[in-house]
């Protein structure tokens, strides 16, 4: 999906579902950075749970989310 369509969908989700729980499978980290919590799964098992920016702060201690973030930045896929 192109970036403009994705932005439109993300805007609609946030507007229409403000008072709802959203469960999203994210392929781009920027789509979930404003979520309250993210769950990182590896091999179907939960390896990390927390607020996105809190997990990024743990990146020095081996955070799974931090590793994903750095990998996506290295690939140039996400720019925050």
Q: What is the pLDDT of residue 30?
A: 85
What confidence tens digit (pLDDT) does each residue in 21-57 have?
Answer: 988 888 788 889 999 999 999 999 999 999 999 999 8
Token pair 């990024």: residue = 56
pTM: 0.74
Domain residue ranges in the chain: 24-80
Token pair 């702060």: residue = 57
By CB neighbour count within 10 A (0-12 exposed, 13-18 middle, 19+ buried), where does 55 fall?
A: buried
Q: Backbone phi, then psi, for 33, in 5-degree steps? A: -65, -20
How many Cβ atoms sit within 10 Å of the Cβ of residue 29?
19
Residue 36 is given by DSSP the state S
Q: What is the pLDDT of residue 26?
A: 84
């Amino acid at each position: 999906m192109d970036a403009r369509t994705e932005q439109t969908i993300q805007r609609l989700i946030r507007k229409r579902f403000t008072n709802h729980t959203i469960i999203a499978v994210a392929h781009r980290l920027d789509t979930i950075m404003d979520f309250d919590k993210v769950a990182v799964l590896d091999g179907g098992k939960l390896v990390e749970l927390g607020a996105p920016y809190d997990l990024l702060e743990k990146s020095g201690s081996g955070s799974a989310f931090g590793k994903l973030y750095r990998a996506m930045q290295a690939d140039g896929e996400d720019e925050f």
